[in-house]
Structure 1
Amino acid sequence: MALDTKGSRQPLSDINVTPLVDVMLVLLVIFMVTAPMFSQGLPVNLPEAKARPLVHDKPLVVSISKEQEIYLGDRPVALADLNTALSQALVDHRMPEILLKSDREVPYGLVVQVMGHLKEAGVEKLGIVTAPHQP
């Protein structure tokens, strides 16, 4: 049985992807090895600033207790005085984000009133704190 090589020449239409996969794996390994070097960056001696930092680690929290008492941080505040206290606190914290914590027994209307005062005081971001769902 002899191979007929003269008359059955057909163009090869299949692409061999094995070398492509090999090259891609080598490139992936190279990028994985060099990526940590790019995140470290250049060593730079930064100048010192005398200004206060703009971002605080601890966000400003407005709480409403079960007894419907309103607290700005740890300090109790009357609903009528909430706007002025919030305005001062926003100037001190230099951030327009507030977290609102409310007991589940507090009437919804009071929570909406407090949210209205927050908006009037200039709060741009409001986060409502909830407990995680427990099945």
Structure 2
Amino acid sequence: MRIPEENDVQGEINIVPMIDAIFSILAFFIISSLSLIRSQGLPVNLPSAQTSQPNQQEEINITIQEDGSTFLDGKPILVDDVRSQVTDLMGENQEAMVIINADEKVSHGVVVSVMDQLRQVQGATLAIATKDQ
């Protein structure tokens, strides 16, 4: 009795599922990195300026919405409390860049009031956020 020989089946590596997994991981990292570069301020319509420059320092964001409501790093705050809250945030760090994200339709008086409060903070440098043209 003779045992029939079995043909050796050549093994294959199907790389299509591996490519799908690599692209899924790549898409995940692209989408997650986009959320890292968003501004820390709340969404407002910033005015545009040709001379706007990116900031490289430690920053504190103050957002003033169109209706005049004011936020410090995303938390609601009264205009009269801006000076004390920013001083507390600065802590031991004697210098900080305070960026005012004011909607282009906000009342000029509200922005001036916030700026007046910030000028009384020792070591705070003021900047007004704009968008590139």
Task: Report matched runs for 1:53-132 at 5 Å.
Answer: 59-91=59-91, 94-132=94-132
| Structure 1 contact 98–123 (Cα < 8 Å) conserved | no
Give distance in 1, aligned partners of 2:77 and 2:97: 18
Partner of 1:16: none
The structure number with the bigger radius of gyration is 1
The 1:94–1:122 alpha-carbon spacing in structure 2 relative to 1, beyond 3 Å, is closer
Q: Which runs of 4+ in 1 moved over 6 A?
A: none
- Relative contact order (alpha carbons < 8 A, sep ≥ 6): 1 or 2 greater? 2
Cα drift, residue 124 of structure 1: 3.5
Question: Which residue of 2 is the match for residue 47 of structure 1?
Answer: none
Q: Percent identity?
A: 19
Count residues in correspondence.
78
Aligned-residue offset at 1:123? 4.4
Residues 62, 93 of structure 1: alpha-carbon distance in 2 compared, 3 angstrom cutoff: farther
Task: Pick closer, same or farther for the CA change 1:58–1:122 going to 2, 3 Å.
Answer: closer
Task: Name the TM-score, length of structure 1 as normaliser.
Answer: 0.51
Deviations 1:22-70 (A, max 9, x none): xxxxxxxxxxxxxxxxxxxxxxxxxxxxxxxxxx975211110112111
Distance 1:83 1:126 in 2: 13
Task: Give the secondary structure class of the aligned counterpart of 2:106.
Answer: coil
The answer as to whether partners of 1:60 and 1:73 remain within 8 angstroms in 2 is yes
> Structure 2 regions of 5+ residues with no counterpart?
1-55
CA RMSD of aligned residues (A): 2.1
1:120 Cα deviation after fit: 0.9
